Structure 1
Amino acid sequence: MITDGGLGSIDGRKIARHGSGTSCGATLVVAGGGPTV
Structure 2
Amino acid sequence: MATYVVLLVVVLVVAVCILGLLYLALSRTERHDRRY
TM-score of the two chains, using structure 2 as the length reference: 0.25
CA radius of gyration, larger in: 2
Greater relative contact order, per chain length (Cα 8 Å cut-off, separation 6+): 1
